[in-house]
Amino acid sequence: MAQGGVIEEGRKTKDAGQGAEGEVPFKFEKLEVWRLAIEYLDLMYEIASQLPHSEEYNLKSQMIRAATSVSLNIAEGSTSQTDAEQARFLGMAIRSLVETVACQHIISRRGFLQDLAPLRQAYSQAETLIAKLHTMRRTIAPERPWLREETEMYQVVMGKDEGGETKDQGR
């Protein structure tokens, strides 16, 4: 038995403290997005293990840290005191996920993998995970605008310049 009551069963873990009904003690363990993030992390480790040694402290390390951050931010956010705080952690998870996708593009572009199937699988998993993260964030805090710019109504004023030509003046 490992520390913290976690027993290894292949690649999956089971908490030794689970009740008879299979209840888990932590909220994040119930979240589908967290389970998907852990599966995605496993795939990122698999891809990283195939990278050349020259990328050990660069791309490999960056990709693993970012993929780990996805699941950790989901977990940490699940204990938030407010919906807005949880949504903020989900935003960090989304940004970390996007970072891993950028790493995948670099791996492909640099020709680091002979077989591109794992990258295609990772990209597909990332598409699913990001859609679910965005949906969860919108559900938790629907009143929060996720764009930095407030949406405003723009009025187009038609006028004439000195030569009598019609011109637009956006406001």
Question: Which single residue is written with the structure tokens 């693993």?
Answer: 64
Any domain includes 90:
yes
CATH number of the domain to which 71 belongs: 1.20.1440.60
End-to-end CA distance of the chain: 66
The whole-number mean pLDDT for each consecutive block of 10 residues of the chain, a chain of 171 residues, reads 41 46 82 98 98 96 98 96 93 98 97 96 98 95 63 59 62 46
Count of domains for the chain: 1
- With CA atoms as reference, report the closest residue to 47 among 110, 128, 115: 115
Any domain includes 123:
yes
Any domain includes 2:
no
What pLDDT does residue 160 have? Answer: 66
Any domain includes 157:
no
Any domain includes 82:
yes
Residue 42 domain boundaries: 31-145
Residue 108 makes CB contacts below 8 A (sequence gap 6+) with: 116, 119
User: How many residues are present in the chain?
Assistant: 171
